[in-house]
């Protein structure tokens, strides 16, 4: 099968809206988690999130379009278009009929959905926007980016909660491996910092309630963690066959070596505490990549900062890597960005690739009292240099969806 390489990266995040800014802030250990500014949180038990700021949709939409286009789609458009620009793809150096995209979302246009439901309840069905359906369905970001770029190849969306973007990478890489496309855009987006999402997750008791210190609320691997922090944004990778990228002289940021997936088949939101499901996904990724446990010394963990999840993931790493587990460095991107739901593994893929490419791993911040059961190297609080060439990025979704993707430095 064809080798799959990464030639472009794009991102919208609480720590910047381009990969270099995101990377620099992550390596510096800066938190993007702050008190929410978008809406009044007086009635909410949680008042902070990883909120996107300084985002300008006007390069892609006029003022009228902005008012009727979901933020989910706006974020995805920016991440995708800037990734394509970074890849150096032009009108003449590739075949648009052999270029496609798989861009997913865990929820889609949740804010649009909420606003229109409220409008119908308050003023009747005639007040529902004609744009309600196309702006709320989760596949529309993939559709609208394709319309913008004119790419006519394989196009659909994945939806598996927080594993969404990793599944998108897998499906997109498969299109190239199987010869169905030369170029694919893959990633995910989420507009999750909105009233309905905040209320829903808060009422599940899933969120941290450290309102007095938002920047310290996301603390994966720390004994005093009390829940995850809601985040939002988007991430995208341009994937190509190695031969196609080389033929046009593209800069290569990395490779996708392989991937694994599984299901806990256990609970709608809680992880399988033994870690068996995640361990299976890790083993599948190693097997598909043709690697041993000694070949992958870095894992960017799902690491949401929940009491059960962090421990279960580390148990899985130990089960899958065996004696090599204590040689691994674990990163927790969410300690600084919060949890971007369907965009989480997209953002974390960009972070992982940038760390490998630049030879420096970002820290897991807020590790002040490391959980005793998590007795591995979690890169606490300060970045470290690395000469490693491979890393795994893990993402798991409600419903028990487990995904692992292995990246390699070129």
User: Does 267 participate in catalysis according to the annotation?
Assistant: no
Please pick, among 302, 355, 401, 404, the residue that the annotation labels catalytic.
Answer: 302
For residue 94, the SS3 value is coil
**What are the angstrom distances between the C-alpha of 69 and each of 57, 140, 154, 165, 213?**
10, 10, 23, 21, 33
Reduced DSSP (H G I as helix, E B as strand, rest coil) percent helix, strand, coil of the chain, to 5:
40, 20, 40
* Cα distance between residue 57 and residue 234, in whole Å: 13
Distance separating alpha carbons of residues 331 and 194, to the nearest angstrom: 27
266 catalytic per annotation: no
Structure tokens at 353: 């690739």
Q: Which of 78, 167, 339, 401 is catalytic?
A: 339
Q: Is the dihedral of CA 302, 106, 25, 405 positive or negative?
A: positive
Q: CA dihedral in degrees (52, 56, 58, 63; nearest 10)?
A: 70
* Sheet of strand 99-104: strand arrangement: 155-156, 99-104, 183-190, 233-241, 4-12, 254-263, 401-408, 390-397, 298-300, 329-331
Residue 253, classed as helix, strand or coil, is: coil
> Among this protein's residues, is 162 annotated catalytic?
yes
The residues carrying an active-site annotation are 162, 302, 339
């Amino acid at each position: 099968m064809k080798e799959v390489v990464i030639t472009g990266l794009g991102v919208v995040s609480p720590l910047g809206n381009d990969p270099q800014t995101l990377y620099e802030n992550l390596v510096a250990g800066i938190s993007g988690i702050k008190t929410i500014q978008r809406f009044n949180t007086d009635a909410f038990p949680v008042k902070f999130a990883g909120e996107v700021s300084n985002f300008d949709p006007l390069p892609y939409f006029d003022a009228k379009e902005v008012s009727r286009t979901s933020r989910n789609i706006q974020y995805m458009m920016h991440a995708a278009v800037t990734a394509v620009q970074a890849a150096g793809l032009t009108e003449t150096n590739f075949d648009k009929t052999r270029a496609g995209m798989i861009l997913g979302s865990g929820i889609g246009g949740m804010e649009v959905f909420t606003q229109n439901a409220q409008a119908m309840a308050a003023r009747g069905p005639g007040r529902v926007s004609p744009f309600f359906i196309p702006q709320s369905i989760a596949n529309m970001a993939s559709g609208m980016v394709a319309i913008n770029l004119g790419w006519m190849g394989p196009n659909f969306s994945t939806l598996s909660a927080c594993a969404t973007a990793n599944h998108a990478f897998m499906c997109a890489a498969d299109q190239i491996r199987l010869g169905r496309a030369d170029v694919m855009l893959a990633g995910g987006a989420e507009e999750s910092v909105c009233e309905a999402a905040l209320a829903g997750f808060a009422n599940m008791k899933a969120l941290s309630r450290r309102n007095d210190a938002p920047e310290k609320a996301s603390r994966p691997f720390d004994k005093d963690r009390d829940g995850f922090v809601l985040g939002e944004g988007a991430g995208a990778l341009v994937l190509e066959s190695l031969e196609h990228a080389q033929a046009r002289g593209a800069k290569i940021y990395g490779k996708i070596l392989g991937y694994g997936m599984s299901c806990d088949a256990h609970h709608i939101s809680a992880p399988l505490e033994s870690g068996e499901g995640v361990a299976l996904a890790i083993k599948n990724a190693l097997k598909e990549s043709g690697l041993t446990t000694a070949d992958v010394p870095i894992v960017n963990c799902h690491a949401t900062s929940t009491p059960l999840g962090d421990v279960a993931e580390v148990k899985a790493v130990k089960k899958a890597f065996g004696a090599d587990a204590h040689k691994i460095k674990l990163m927790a991107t969410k300690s600084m960005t919060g949890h971007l739901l369907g965009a989480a593994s997209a953002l974390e893929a960009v972070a992982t690739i940038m760390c490998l490419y630049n030879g420096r791993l970002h820290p897991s911040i807020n590790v002040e009292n490391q959980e005793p059961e998590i007795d591995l190297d979690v890169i606490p609080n300060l970045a470290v240099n690395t000469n490693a060439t491979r890393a795994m990025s893990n993402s798991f979704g409600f419903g028990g969806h487990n995904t692992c993707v292995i990246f390699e430095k070129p």
